[in-house]
Structure 1
Amino acid sequence: MQTLNTPDYIVIGMMLALSFGIGVFFAVRSKNTRETYLLGNRQMGVFSVAISMFVTTQSAVSLLGYPAEIYTYGTMIIYLFISRSFTYLAGVYTCLPLLYPLRIVSIFEYLGRRFDSTAVRIYGTFLGMLQTVIYMAVALFSPALALQVSAGIPLWMSIVIVGLVGTVYTSIGGIQGVVWTDVLQSVFMLGGMVLVIVLSIGRIGTLQKVWEINHQEGRIQFDELSPDPRVRHTVWGLFLGGFFNWYVNMFNQATMQRMCAIRSMKGSKIAFLLNIPMLLIYGVLLVITGLQLAAYVFTTQCDPYEAGYITNRNQMMPYFVLDILGSYPGLAGLYMSSLFSGALSTLSSGINALAANTVADILVVPLRRSSERTSTIIAKLAVCFYGLLAIGMAYMIRSLQGPITQMTHAVWGAGGGPVLGMFFLGAVFPKANKVGALCGGISALLVTVTLSILQELHGVKPTTLNPAPLDACPGESYLEANSTMAFTTPKILNTTFPQDYILNSHHEGLSAVPFYLYDVSYVWYGFIGFLVVLVVGVVTSWITASRYPQTVDPQLLFPFARRLWKLSSTSGMQLTPLPGNETYVPSRKNSHDETLPVPFNTATRTPQQV
């Protein structure tokens, strides 16, 4: 098996050094204010922010996970990228016109204002921060798996190196450093993928041959139309469930910071729309890479996971890449740099977002009378803390063996679905109150977390497609040759399944067991959480309406909801500002038809005349 050489390490080192250098550059250049550190003084460019918005959610998880997903379960996953593209279009008409005019620092300030409740705001902050921390841990864990199989470097060492580099340049460079390192890292990610695709053609054959091999081996699947929600991937599940699982990213802190860092709402709208073609192109490249991986394994007649050369199916892609690129000095290092770039972009964006939540939500009262310099220092210390926390959690999840893409989607759905539901409850239903928001959010979290835990412990396990034969595998496995690094016993399985078993296994297996809710596919978690919040929140708000009457500023509703409930822009301005929010509650229009904040008179607790 090929390993990384000196030129490869040089390329990886250059990428890490350039990322660190960008952070230092913006640390020297930027003003030392909280607004600049967290939002780039709201003067950042459209194209750079659009790329950062895209790269933040496309970590090493996708580069490793989706090719392995296609080899293991087939090509149904491509529908997921189509459904995701619609979430950005929906964001243009929902979260963008709702949140951009408020000029807030933390997205959860909206929940506090809308429901006039610190408890709702803190609960939403807790859910959002928990989801971000877990996702960062998975993103850090991904390239460490790759480096373990390619260089024999222990998991903990890879996690610490990448985690510390990302933490340091984020802490000193702020959001501007994060955005521009994302731009740099997008080049490495795209370059690594294109290199693999082009050079694989010379080794495996044309894309037509790759398609034929995958079709023959049952990997080409686009017609799973089963209405059973327990089937792992169906057209309905990937379109509807996948939409809500990804739509939660439109209402998280990292997206909101980038959206509000752009100079105008029009620019933010363009940034959202630019993500659609980027996402579709990225999805096509990942599918091609996955098909090439499958064709390579069947052509070489040796499945590295079944043969015991690797300990985790998520390591199949680096195993494949090292064989394809290993003979070209530095190219394997370029691909590994793309994995590190994906992890760094997610980590830096996540810890910067968590720092914003800390100073704007958790410490909002203690920092209310603090200077800009003090707030910025606290934010930088928070970045360091959350970076170390992500490193620790990434090491804790090292024993996970399932599809890494499924892990991230389960996290997004279980944690993000309740948050998305709370935002929609407040932005669509004017009579929804804080009791309904809290009851709905807590109920949804209990449901989604219970589903995910029971599914892991007792759920019906998805049936994988037939692995490649092991006829050409050498006698000694990777684990046997590196026995000190072995985590599991090598599996030498030379099993071939009938083709009709492959196609019908989901239906035959599921029809033989009773229907349990925890058997529902992970792609539905976000939709389930969203739905539970709305149902419980609306019913609870209706029951408690007499005790907790709610009058809402129409500016805190989605534009379509204002028209639906026939509310004018001047009706219902009866809000009590939360600590730290006194200057931004209502809004007004200027001569250019742009929405601006109205100063709030803290003495009379009413909007001042403009």
Structure 2
Amino acid sequence: MQISSPEKLMFYISMAAAETLGTVDYVVLCIMLGISLGIGIFFAIREKDTKEGYLLGNRQMGAFSVAVSMFVTLSSAISLLGVPAEIYTFGSMMIYQYVSMTSVYIVGMYTCLPLMYPLGITSVYEYLGMRFDSTAVRLLGTCIGMLQTASYMAIALLSPALALQTVAGLPLWWSIVIVGLVGTIYTSIGGIKSVVWTDVFQSSIMLAGILTSIVLGVMRSGGTLNVLKTAHQEGRLGLDEINPDPRVRHTVWGLVIGGFFNWYVNLFTQSMGQRIFAIKSLKGAKMSYLLNAVFMVLYGLLLWATGLALFGFFYTQGCDPYEAGTVTNRNQLMPYFVMQILSGFPGATGLYMSTLFSGALSTVSSGINALAANTVEDILGPSLRRVRSERLVTVIAKLAVCFYGLLAIGLAYAAKSLQGPVSQMAMAAFGACGGPVLGMFLLGALIPWSNKIGAFFGGLISLALNVWMSIYGQIYGPRPTTLPPAPMFACAKEDVLNSTTISMYSNASSMYEATTMTIDESMVAEPFSFADVSYCWYGLMGTLMAMIIGCLISLIAGRTDVNTLDPDLVFPFVRKLCKLREPLTKDDGLVTSAEYKAMTNYRFSWDMYKINAPQENSETTFT
């Protein structure tokens, strides 16, 4: 093999040498894990064993710490690995996803937040039971939401395991067990406070790891201008795909409109709702949403820069690790890149691995804490209401955390055979499982006359169709065409790099253009198939199916009388449009409808409420 310069020779040698983490890297990694465990132990000793404290921090948590926890929970190792790999492989279109994510929090400030926060609930799925006066609807929403959370946790656990397998040569199952057990232990002993404050600590590690990889990657690629020039030349800066065809994987419409619904469902998940309910005031909850909108803008730009630096580095050095067979999965590109640029700095690679572990730990701890809350409140709630010991209920919640932690470990190992960027896997899971349950929430909050029969069958049918479409697309859907890879002259061995290989890569650009043209023509000619639909549309399709089916069944089964509907249970703007009664407050000398529903196990009737409510400004005690 001909090496064109001493720099290329040194690069080739370093790629062969940088295969495992050093002792200092393991020390750094262990310190991070130890601090996370220490935070859990601290809150286990400090806090009393009460259900309210364990699950909601006694509803006295600050807006900033919760906002950071919300952000880190949904960022995770999935985006740290998947988004740069996506930009490296397919280009910059993914950046539009962060436009939709940012808009979700702005919309949520005027829809989800004023609807859910004043109800004083613990589980977000309590809303479904209250709105539709149905235990079945509530349990269906709970089961779908738990399925979505478990799927996301599995992918989040798989992400750092793939990275650790790449840079340390550890077996995949061993890496999954490490992250899963650490997250389970500190969550089970410390509760929501340990999760939130560990997230705050882990966010600083994530920021340091991202900035370090960007700066060193750009420096090793010849500077910012060279990175941008290379990215433009090789098609990584393309942002102009506006094809309305839903079968095109990434378009402006799919990422902005479809991506909005894929992400909007997160505001109605237990992981996010539980944090919002833990904040001490509605004003603080609004501030946490606003902060997350800002965080998403900055995070999207950082990941975009990371992806460009990733491609610029391997292009400048003359080696595409995936095409060379050095890594077997494109999700391993980022950790392999970090090994190359940080191998000369003791402990630096361990710092970046801590970044991935931090993201995964945050997601796993939040997920299993949310699943435990669903178990205690939604599934075992009727039985546990007869238990007088708060300590016993808290112990049951902790056992549930341990169970779901072990379940997440098993699911993550089972997900190892999935192909494609982990960011795509996560968004597909959000859309496939989240779309139907989002449709149930919106059916109740937007359509005052919808009933429980429509909500139940709308959600159930939508779930079946959406999951089928997701699995069908994963098995039979077309594989997306990648952009031309980085050149191979610096990493291929002499007996592999022959004239045919050189010719293939030198003509990669023209081959890509021809392939793209053929695929576009075939899409027009071939009949429509749901297997070809982009994952970006799963959330919107699931939401619309649940709402349309729910409305039709509600019309057939008999519409709900809006005069009997509690106005607390629809969006504020719907109350005005439909001229519903404004919610009663304590300022009127009355208990709120939310308090009355809580006292009557959510079987609420407006007429019954009027009969039981005091007519004068006097206090009434319910027993």
Q: TM-score, normalised by structure 2?
A: 0.90
Q: 1:562 to 1:306 in 2, by over 3 A?
A: same
Query: Are 2:493 and 1:475 equivalent residues in the alignment?
Result: yes
Number of the residue aligned with 1:338: 355
Q: 1:496 aligns with which of 493, 508, 513?
A: 508
Number of the residue aligned with 2:6: none
Q: Is the 8 A contact 1:432 1:550 kept in 2?
A: no
Q: 1:132 to 1:476 in 2, by over 3 A?
A: farther
Show CA shifts across 1:88-147 (max 9, x none).
011111111111111111110100111011110000000000110111010000000000
Give me the whole-angstrom Cα distance separating, in 2, the residues matched to 1:454 and 1:97.
38
1:243-322 matches, within 5 Å, as 243-322=260-339
Measured after TM superposition, the shift of residue 429 of structure 1 is 1.1
Considering fraction of residues, name the structure with more helix: 2
Give me the whole-angstrom Cα distance separating, in 2, the residues matched to 1:381 and 1:216.
55
Q: Is the 8 A contact 1:307 1:493 kept in 2?
A: no
Number of the residue aligned with 1:389: 407
Give me the whole-angstrom Cα distance separating, in 2, the residues matched to 1:325 and 1:550.
66
Q: 1:545 aligns with which of 558, 561, 578?
A: 558
Measured after TM superposition, the shift of residue 472 of structure 1 is 1.5
Query: Are 2:207 and 1:210 equivalent residues in the alignment?
Result: no
1:74-153 matches, within 5 Å, as 74-153=91-170
Q: Is the 8 A contact 1:313 1:401 kept in 2?
A: no
Number of the residue aligned with 1:418: 436
Query: Are 2:344 and 1:358 equivalent residues in the alignment?
Result: no
Number of the residue aligned with 1:197: 214
Number of the residue aligned with 1:561: 574
Q: 2:259 aligns with which of 233, 239, 242?
A: 242
Show CA shifts across 1:190-218 (max 9, x none).
00000111112321122221010011111
One-letter amino acid matched to 1:298: Y
Number of the residue aligned with 1:515: 528
Comparing 537-546 with 65-74, which one deviates more in the overlay? Answer: 537-546
Give me the whole-angstrom Cα distance separating, in 2, the residues matched to 1:592 and 1:346.
43
Measured after TM superposition, the shift of residue 152 of structure 1 is 0.3
Measured after TM superposition, the shift of residue 401 of structure 1 is 2.2
Show CA shifts across 1:159-185 (max 9, x none).
001100000000001000000000001
Cα RMSD, aligned residues only: 2.3
Give me the whole-angstrom Cα distance separating, in 2, the residues matched to 1:59 and 1:514.
38
Q: 2:468 aligns with which of 437, 440, 450?
A: 450
One-letter amino acid matched to 1:563: K
Q: Is the 8 A contact 2:590 2:613 kept in 1?
A: no
Q: 1:200 to 1:524 in 2, by over 3 A?
A: same
Q: 1:400 to 1:521 in 2, by over 3 A?
A: same
Show CA shifts across 1:416-463 (max 9, x none).
000111001001111111110011101211221121111122222211
Q: Which residues of structure 1 form unaligned runs of 5+? A: 478-491, 571-586
Number of the residue aligned with 1:438: 456
Q: Is the 8 A contact 2:463 2:542 kept in 1?
A: yes
Comparing 184-193 with 496-505, which one deviates more in the overlay? Answer: 496-505
Show CA shifts across 1:535-585 (max 9, x none).
111111011116999932111011011011110125xxxxxxxxxxxxxxx
Number of the residue aligned with 1:179: 196
Q: Is the 8 A contact 2:218 2:312 kept in 1?
A: no
Number of the residue aligned with 2:178: 161
Q: TM-score, normalised by structure 1?
A: 0.92
Give me the whole-angstrom Cα distance separating, in 2, the residues matched to 1:120 and 1:244.
21
Q: Is the 8 A contact 1:55 1:345 kept in 2?
A: yes
Q: Is the 8 A contact 2:77 2:357 kept in 1?
A: yes
Give me the whole-angstrom Cα distance separating, in 1, the residues matched to 2:586 and 2:410.
47
Q: 2:237 aligns with which of 220, 228, 231?
A: 220
Q: Look up the SS of the partner of 1:10 in the other structure.
A: helix
Give me the whole-angstrom Cα distance separating, in 2, the residues matched to 1:476 and 1:55.
45
Identity of aligned residues (%): 58
Q: Is the 8 A contact 2:449 2:561 kept in 1?
A: no
1:59-70 matches, within 5 Å, as 59-70=76-87
One-letter amino acid matched to 1:223: D
Q: Is the 8 A contact 2:242 2:251 kept in 1?
A: yes
Comparing 12-21 with 203-212, which one deviates more in the overlay? Answer: 203-212
Number of the residue aligned with 1:373: 391
Number of the residue aligned with 2:499: none
Q: Look up the SS of the partner of 2:228 in the other structure.
A: helix
Measured after TM superposition, the shift of residue 595 of structure 1 is 7.4
Larger radius of gyration: 2
Q: 1:53 aligns with which of 61, 70, 89?
A: 70
Give me the whole-angstrom Cα distance separating, in 2, the residues matched to 1:453 and 1:598.
43
Number of the residue aligned with 2:478: 460
Q: Which residues of structure 2 form unaligned runs of 5+? A: 1-14, 496-502
One-letter amino acid matched to 2:474: E
Q: 2:585 aligns with which of 588, 591, 595?
A: 588
Query: Are 2:13 and 1:13 equivalent residues in the alignment?
Result: no
Q: Is the 8 A contact 1:598 1:608 kept in 2?
A: no
Give me the whole-angstrom Cα distance separating, in 1, the residues matched to 2:233 and 2:105.
36
Q: Is the 8 A contact 2:93 2:239 kept in 1?
A: yes
Q: 1:541 to 1:599 in 2, by over 3 A?
A: closer
Aligned residues: 581
Q: Is the 8 A contact 2:90 2:483 kept in 1?
A: yes
Comparing 83-92 with 297-306, which one deviates more in the overlay? Answer: 297-306
Q: Look up the SS of the partner of 1:402 in the other structure.
A: coil
Number of the residue aligned with 1:598: 595
Give me the whole-angstrom Cα distance separating, in 2, the residues matched to 1:602 and 1:93.
29
Q: 2:538 aligns with which of 504, 516, 525?
A: 525
Q: Is the 8 A contact 2:448 2:562 kept in 1?
A: no
Give me the whole-angstrom Cα distance separating, in 2, the residues matched to 1:88 and 1:589.
30
Measured after TM superposition, the shift of residue 519 of structure 1 is 1.0
Measured after TM superposition, the shift of residue 509 of structure 1 is 4.4
Give me the whole-angstrom Cα distance separating, in 2, the residues matched to 1:452 and 1:272.
30
Q: Look up the SS of the partner of 2:585 in the other structure.
A: strand
One-letter amino acid matched to 1:81: Y
Give me the whole-angstrom Cα distance separating, in 2, the residues matched to 1:103 and 1:112.
14
One-letter amino acid matched to 2:400: A
One-letter amino acid matched to 1:224: E
Number of the residue aligned with 1:484: none
